[in-house]
Protein backbone atom coordinates (compact mmCIF):
# COMPACT_ATOMS: atom_id res chain seq x y z
CA UNK A 1 0.00 0.00 0.00
CA UNK A 2 2.81 2.36 0.93
CA UNK A 3 4.63 1.49 -2.30
CA UNK A 4 1.52 2.19 -4.40
CA UNK A 5 1.10 5.55 -2.66
CA UNK A 6 4.72 6.42 -3.41
CA UNK A 7 4.32 5.53 -7.09
CA UNK A 8 1.15 7.63 -7.28
CA UNK A 9 2.90 10.63 -5.73
CA UNK A 10 5.76 10.17 -8.17
CA UNK A 11 3.43 10.31 -11.16
CA UNK A 12 1.59 13.31 -9.71
CA UNK A 13 4.90 15.19 -9.38
CA UNK A 14 5.84 14.26 -12.94
CA UNK A 15 2.46 15.49 -14.17
CA UNK A 16 2.75 18.87 -12.48
CA UNK A 17 6.33 19.23 -13.66
CA UNK A 18 5.36 18.55 -17.26
CA UNK A 19 2.16 20.57 -17.03
CA UNK A 20 4.11 23.56 -15.81
CA UNK A 21 6.96 23.07 -18.27
CA UNK A 22 5.23 25.12 -20.99
CA UNK A 23 4.92 28.79 -20.13
CA UNK A 24 4.42 32.20 -21.67
CA UNK A 25 2.99 31.20 -25.04
CA UNK A 26 2.65 34.51 -26.89
CA UNK A 27 1.52 35.28 -30.43
CA UNK A 28 2.85 38.46 -32.05
CA UNK A 29 1.41 39.82 -35.30
CA UNK A 30 3.88 42.00 -37.18
CA UNK A 31 2.03 44.17 -37.96
CA UNK A 32 -1.40 43.79 -36.33
CA UNK A 33 -2.87 46.31 -38.78
CA UNK A 34 -1.97 45.11 -42.28
CA UNK A 35 -2.34 47.00 -45.54
CA UNK A 36 -4.22 45.10 -48.19
CA UNK A 37 -2.00 42.91 -50.42
CA UNK A 38 0.95 43.28 -48.01
CA UNK A 39 2.45 40.55 -45.84
CA UNK A 40 2.36 39.77 -42.12
CA UNK A 41 4.63 37.69 -39.89
CA UNK A 42 3.03 35.64 -37.10
CA UNK A 43 5.59 34.95 -34.36
CA UNK A 44 4.87 32.36 -31.68
CA UNK A 45 7.16 32.57 -28.65
CA UNK A 46 7.12 30.22 -25.66
CA UNK A 47 9.16 28.87 -22.78
CA UNK A 48 9.25 25.05 -22.75
CA UNK A 49 11.68 24.92 -19.79
CA UNK A 50 13.62 22.06 -21.35
CA UNK A 51 10.68 19.90 -22.42
CA UNK A 52 10.73 18.40 -25.92
CA UNK A 53 8.55 20.13 -28.47
CA UNK A 54 5.79 18.01 -29.97
CA UNK A 55 4.08 20.41 -32.33
CA UNK A 56 3.30 24.07 -33.10
CA UNK A 57 0.04 24.89 -34.86
CA UNK A 58 -1.37 28.10 -36.33
CA UNK A 59 -5.10 28.74 -36.80
CA UNK A 60 -7.27 31.32 -38.54
CA UNK A 61 -10.42 31.19 -36.44
CA UNK A 62 -10.99 27.44 -35.92
CA UNK A 63 -9.19 26.40 -39.10
CA UNK A 64 -5.62 25.12 -38.87
CA UNK A 65 -3.44 26.32 -41.74
CA UNK A 66 0.15 25.59 -40.62
CA UNK A 67 1.81 22.94 -38.46
CA UNK A 68 5.39 22.30 -37.40
CA UNK A 69 6.25 18.84 -36.03
CA UNK A 70 10.00 18.31 -35.42
CA UNK A 71 9.69 14.50 -35.27
CA UNK A 72 8.19 14.24 -38.76
CA UNK A 73 9.71 14.58 -42.22
CA UNK A 74 9.00 16.99 -43.70
CA UNK A 75 8.47 18.78 -40.43
CA UNK A 76 6.14 21.46 -41.87
CA UNK A 77 2.62 21.09 -43.25
CA UNK A 78 0.36 23.68 -44.88
CA UNK A 79 -3.41 23.14 -44.92
CA UNK A 80 -5.63 24.86 -47.50
CA UNK A 81 -7.68 27.70 -46.01
CA UNK A 82 -9.34 30.31 -48.27
CA UNK A 83 -7.29 33.52 -48.41
CA UNK A 84 -4.23 32.05 -46.65
CA UNK A 85 -0.98 32.22 -48.64
CA UNK A 86 1.94 30.84 -46.61
CA UNK A 87 5.51 31.78 -47.50
CA UNK A 88 6.92 28.36 -46.64
CA UNK A 89 10.54 29.39 -47.25
CA UNK A 90 10.37 32.00 -44.48
CA UNK A 91 8.26 29.98 -42.03
CA UNK A 92 9.62 27.82 -39.20
CA UNK A 93 8.86 26.37 -35.76
CA UNK A 94 8.33 29.85 -34.32
CA UNK A 95 6.86 31.91 -37.14
CA UNK A 96 4.64 31.89 -40.23
CA UNK A 97 4.78 34.51 -42.98
CA UNK A 98 1.54 35.25 -44.82
CA UNK A 99 1.64 36.96 -48.22
CA UNK A 100 -0.84 38.92 -50.32
CA UNK A 101 -3.28 39.45 -47.44
CA UNK A 102 -6.85 40.47 -48.28
CA UNK A 103 -9.81 41.74 -46.26
CA UNK A 104 -11.18 38.25 -45.56
CA UNK A 105 -8.26 37.56 -43.19
CA UNK A 106 -9.35 40.24 -40.72
CA UNK A 107 -10.10 38.39 -37.48
CA UNK A 108 -8.54 36.09 -34.89
CA UNK A 109 -5.32 34.11 -35.31
CA UNK A 110 -4.14 31.53 -32.76
CA UNK A 111 -0.81 29.88 -32.00
CA UNK A 112 -0.97 26.52 -30.15
CA UNK A 113 2.16 24.88 -28.71
CA UNK A 114 2.28 21.29 -27.40
CA UNK A 115 5.20 19.55 -25.68
CA UNK A 116 5.96 15.80 -25.55
CA UNK A 117 4.66 13.52 -22.79
CA UNK A 118 1.24 14.25 -21.36
CA UNK A 119 0.93 16.77 -24.20
CA UNK A 120 1.08 19.98 -22.21
CA UNK A 121 -0.54 22.66 -24.38
CA UNK A 122 -0.56 26.44 -24.34
CA UNK A 123 -2.04 28.95 -26.77
CA UNK A 124 -2.49 32.65 -27.48
CA UNK A 125 -4.83 34.57 -29.79
CA UNK A 126 -4.47 37.95 -31.48
CA UNK A 127 -6.68 39.92 -33.88
CA UNK A 128 -5.53 41.03 -37.33
CA UNK A 129 -7.07 44.05 -39.05
CA UNK A 130 -6.68 44.44 -42.82
CA UNK A 131 -7.02 47.97 -44.21
CA UNK A 132 -6.81 49.81 -47.51
CA UNK A 133 -5.45 53.37 -47.23
CA UNK A 134 -6.52 56.33 -49.38
CA UNK A 135 -4.37 56.84 -52.46
CA UNK A 136 -4.46 60.65 -52.07
CA UNK A 137 -4.66 63.17 -49.19
CA UNK A 138 -8.01 64.77 -48.26
CA UNK A 139 -9.28 67.85 -50.11
CA UNK A 140 -11.06 71.00 -48.86
CA UNK A 141 -13.62 73.12 -50.70
CA UNK A 142 -15.21 76.36 -49.38
CA UNK A 143 -18.42 78.13 -50.30
CA UNK A 144 -17.39 81.81 -50.46
CA UNK A 145 -14.46 84.18 -50.70
CA UNK A 146 -13.96 87.12 -48.32
CA UNK A 147 -15.01 86.35 -44.73
CA UNK A 148 -15.93 88.66 -41.86
CA UNK A 149 -17.76 88.79 -38.53
CA UNK A 150 -21.32 87.48 -38.70
CA UNK A 151 -20.80 85.45 -41.86
CA UNK A 152 -20.92 81.65 -41.95
CA UNK A 153 -17.98 79.60 -43.12
CA UNK A 154 -19.22 76.77 -45.34
CA UNK A 155 -16.61 74.10 -46.06
CA UNK A 156 -16.42 70.47 -47.08
CA UNK A 157 -13.64 67.92 -46.57
CA UNK A 158 -13.48 64.69 -48.55
CA UNK A 159 -11.12 61.75 -48.15
CA UNK A 160 -10.68 59.29 -51.06
CA UNK A 161 -11.89 55.68 -50.78
CA UNK A 162 -10.46 53.62 -47.93
CA UNK A 163 -11.40 50.70 -45.71
CA UNK A 164 -12.30 51.48 -43.03
CA UNK A 165 -13.46 55.01 -43.98
CA UNK A 166 -11.22 57.78 -42.64
CA UNK A 167 -12.12 59.79 -39.54
CA UNK A 168 -12.19 63.51 -40.39
CA UNK A 169 -11.90 66.71 -38.37
CA UNK A 170 -11.67 70.44 -39.13
CA UNK A 171 -9.27 72.82 -37.37
CA UNK A 172 -9.54 76.60 -37.71
CA UNK A 173 -6.40 78.42 -36.59
CA UNK A 174 -5.21 75.21 -34.86
CA UNK A 175 -8.46 74.75 -32.90
CA UNK A 176 -10.85 71.86 -33.57
CA UNK A 177 -14.19 73.22 -34.80
CA UNK A 178 -15.80 70.04 -36.18
CA UNK A 179 -15.12 66.34 -36.18
CA UNK A 180 -16.90 63.14 -37.06
CA UNK A 181 -16.56 59.42 -36.93
CA UNK A 182 -16.28 57.81 -40.36
CA UNK A 183 -19.37 58.62 -42.43
CA UNK A 184 -19.20 56.72 -45.73
CA UNK A 185 -20.87 58.73 -48.48
CA UNK A 186 -20.23 56.50 -51.46
CA UNK A 187 -18.68 53.13 -52.16
CA UNK A 188 -15.86 52.43 -54.58
CA UNK A 189 -15.25 48.70 -55.01
CA UNK A 190 -14.35 47.47 -51.49
CA UNK A 191 -13.59 50.94 -50.11
CA UNK A 192 -15.62 54.03 -49.18
CA UNK A 193 -15.28 57.81 -49.35
CA UNK A 194 -15.52 59.91 -46.17
CA UNK A 195 -17.08 63.37 -46.05
CA UNK A 196 -17.33 66.12 -43.42
CA UNK A 197 -19.36 69.33 -43.77
CA UNK A 198 -18.60 72.48 -41.75
CA UNK A 199 -21.11 75.31 -41.19
CA UNK A 200 -19.46 77.68 -38.72
CA UNK A 201 -20.82 81.16 -37.83
CA UNK A 202 -17.79 83.42 -37.51
CA UNK A 203 -17.27 85.76 -34.56
CA UNK A 204 -14.58 88.15 -33.43
CA UNK A 205 -12.94 85.26 -31.60
CA UNK A 206 -12.11 83.50 -34.86
CA UNK A 207 -10.28 86.58 -36.15
CA UNK A 208 -8.05 87.01 -33.09
CA UNK A 209 -4.99 86.61 -35.30
CA UNK A 210 -6.42 88.43 -38.26
CA UNK A 211 -6.00 85.43 -40.54
CA UNK A 212 -7.99 82.25 -41.03
CA UNK A 213 -6.22 78.93 -41.65
CA UNK A 214 -8.50 75.95 -42.22
CA UNK A 215 -7.11 72.41 -41.88
CA UNK A 216 -8.77 69.05 -42.47
CA UNK A 217 -7.19 65.99 -40.84
CA UNK A 218 -7.92 62.47 -42.10
CA UNK A 219 -6.97 59.51 -39.86
CA UNK A 220 -7.32 55.73 -40.00
CA UNK A 221 -6.54 53.84 -36.79
CA UNK A 222 -2.90 54.50 -35.82
CA UNK A 223 -1.30 53.96 -39.23
CA UNK A 224 -2.56 56.82 -41.40
CA UNK A 225 -2.73 60.60 -40.99
CA UNK A 226 -2.89 63.16 -43.80
CA UNK A 227 -3.91 66.83 -43.81
CA UNK A 228 -5.23 69.42 -46.24
CA UNK A 229 -4.58 73.11 -45.54
CA UNK A 230 -6.28 76.22 -46.89
CA UNK A 231 -5.71 79.92 -46.16
CA UNK A 232 -9.01 81.80 -46.32
CA UNK A 233 -9.50 85.38 -47.52
CA UNK A 234 -10.40 87.51 -44.52
CA UNK A 235 -11.63 91.10 -44.19
CA UNK A 236 -9.64 91.17 -40.96
CA UNK A 237 -6.21 90.69 -42.48
CA UNK A 238 -3.53 92.71 -40.61
CA UNK A 239 -3.05 96.19 -42.23
CA UNK A 240 0.57 97.31 -42.77
CA UNK A 241 1.60 100.25 -40.56
CA UNK A 242 1.50 103.71 -42.18
CA UNK A 243 3.86 106.64 -41.61
CA UNK A 244 1.92 109.06 -39.39
CA UNK A 245 4.47 111.88 -39.08
CA UNK A 246 7.38 113.13 -41.13
CA UNK A 247 10.74 112.48 -39.59
CA UNK A 248 12.51 115.73 -40.40
CA UNK A 249 15.80 114.58 -39.01
CA UNK A 250 15.84 111.71 -41.46
CA UNK A 251 15.18 113.94 -44.50
CA UNK A 252 18.11 114.85 -46.74
CA UNK A 253 18.24 117.39 -49.59
CA UNK A 254 20.53 116.47 -52.42
CA UNK A 255 21.47 119.09 -55.06
CA UNK A 256 22.90 118.32 -58.44
CA UNK A 257 26.40 119.92 -58.93
CA UNK A 258 25.22 122.05 -61.88
CA UNK A 259 22.28 123.37 -59.88
CA UNK A 260 24.60 124.22 -57.00
CA UNK A 261 26.89 126.23 -59.34
CA UNK A 262 23.94 128.18 -60.73
CA UNK A 263 22.74 129.14 -57.26
CA UNK A 264 26.24 130.24 -56.22
CA UNK A 265 26.74 132.46 -59.31
CA UNK A 266 23.35 134.10 -58.82
CA UNK A 267 24.25 134.91 -55.24
CA UNK A 268 27.60 136.49 -56.28
CA UNK A 269 25.93 138.68 -58.92
CA UNK A 270 23.54 140.09 -56.34
CA UNK A 271 26.42 140.86 -53.96
CA UNK A 272 28.54 142.59 -56.66
CA UNK A 273 25.65 144.84 -57.77
CA UNK A 274 25.31 146.13 -54.27
pLDDT of residue 44: 96
CATH class of 19-131: mainly beta
pLDDT of residue 262: 52
pLDDT of residue 243: 38
Enumerate residue ranges in the chain where pLDDT < 50.
5, 7-19, 239-255, 259-260, 263, 271
pLDDT digit string, tens, across residues 239-250: 444 433 334 333
Fold equal for 19-131 and 139-232:
yes
The 10 Å Cβ neighbour count of residue 40 is 20
Domain definitions of the chain by residue range: 19-131, 139-232
pLDDT digit string, tens, across residues 208-228: 667 789 999 999 999 999 999
CATH of domain 139-232: 2.60.40.10
pLDDT of residue 227: 97
Amino acid sequence: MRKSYSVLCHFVLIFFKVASSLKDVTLILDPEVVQRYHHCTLRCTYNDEGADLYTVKFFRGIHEFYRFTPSESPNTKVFPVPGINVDINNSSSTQVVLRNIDFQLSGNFTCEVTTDFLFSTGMDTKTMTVVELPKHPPTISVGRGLLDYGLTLHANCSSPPSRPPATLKFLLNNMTVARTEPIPVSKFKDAQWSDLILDLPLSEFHFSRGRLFLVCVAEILDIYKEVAELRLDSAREPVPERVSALNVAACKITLHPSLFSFVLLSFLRIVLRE
